[in-house]
Amino acid sequence: MEPSQFEKIFSRADSITGPFADSLLQQAKFPPSTNSALVVLDMACGSGVVSSHIMALLSSEAKSRLDLTCADTSDAMISNLTRRIEALGWKNTRAVIADAMVRQYQPDSLHLTLTMDVQDTKFPSSHFSHIFFNFGPMILPNGLVGLRECHRILQPNGVLGFTTWQTVPWFIDYRAGIAMNPSLPSFPSDDRLKHAFSEAPERWDSVEDLRSHFEATGFDEVEVRVAECTTKYKLGEMEDMMPYTLGMMIQKFWTKEELEKYQGPAGEAILEYLKLKYSSGPIVWNWVGFVATGRKA
């Protein structure tokens, strides 16, 4: 991925998830008022939105106490984020490949059998003072396993903060655009999209669910609040974003053949719908999410 392309992805991601990152840091009371070391993990960091907001928030003195790890499963994201860290001169910061959950298999004669979801990010136990997981838990095959792993690698009294979606506005417009062309495969429901990567029954889109998940994995002082942000895009900006945003939404639901044949026409149908709905004005979307924090008991 070219640096200019990565910066464009970062800018778009920040416009949507950046305000939630700010709310997450504020609710986690980060940085704390003490002069303790800040050993921070930005889990599922993507293009580094949370880390960027951490760097913008901290004073020079606080940065001298910071040890920041940005972790993601994507080689492309980590490679480009490493380049961004170096270009911006972030000290005591590294980007690494890591996952909040891995699958463990054992041989069973002619095939491999899944034995368990295991906690194995390779990070040491009781290491981090803070873990931030911006729009992360619901993308894991088993989010509760991921939270247990966060609990393991947090220091005693350490803070975990994460965000999840309640309302994702482009689902509605993308679905309506695809419906304009009856030859296209159907667009999945909001619930299926919000939990597309999860193989577990737990849900992550209500205050009650999030509080329950925190408590079930050993956290106390749990706070869950609703946060919102509004974005405005030009049609040309959405055209640039379409291959990534649409692909992300349909890759789990359309077959390989359908993706190859219909993703292009689907993007065209969505853009045509956006043009009709918003005319010459900006595309205005209101995003609603949950900000959840808890402390390791």
pLDDT in tens, 146-167: 999 999 999 999 999 999 999 9
Asked if 224 and 292 count as a contact pair (C-beta separation under 8 A), the reply is: yes
Summarised one tens digit per residue, pLDDT across range 47-75 is: 899 999 999 999 999 999 999 999 998 88
Q: Which residues of 203-233 are buried (b: 16+ CB within 10 A; e: fewer)?
A: bbbeeebbbbbbeebbbeebebeebebebeb
**Residue that has been written with the tokens 């994995």 in this structure:** 217
* Mean pLDDT across 220-230: 97
Per the DSSP assignment, residues forming a β-bridge with 230 are 286
Domain residue spans of the chain: 3-168+202-231+287-296
Rounded-to-integer distance, Cα 48 and Cα 45, Å:
5
Question: What confidence tier does 281 reach under pLDDT thresholds 50, 70, 90?
Answer: confident
User: Class of 3-168+202-231+287-296 per CATH?
Assistant: alpha beta
Across all residues in the chain, what is the average pLDDT?
A: 89
pTM of the prediction?
Answer: 0.89
**Each residue's pLDDT tens digit, 232-265:** 999 999 998 898 899 989 999 999 999 999 999 9
Question: Which residues, other chains included, contact 137 with Cβ-Cβ below 8 Å and sequence gap of 6+?
Answer: 143, 146, 147, 162, 164, 204, 213
Higher-pLDDT residue of 47 and 101 is 47
CB-based contacts of 8, cutoff 8 Å, min separation 6: 240
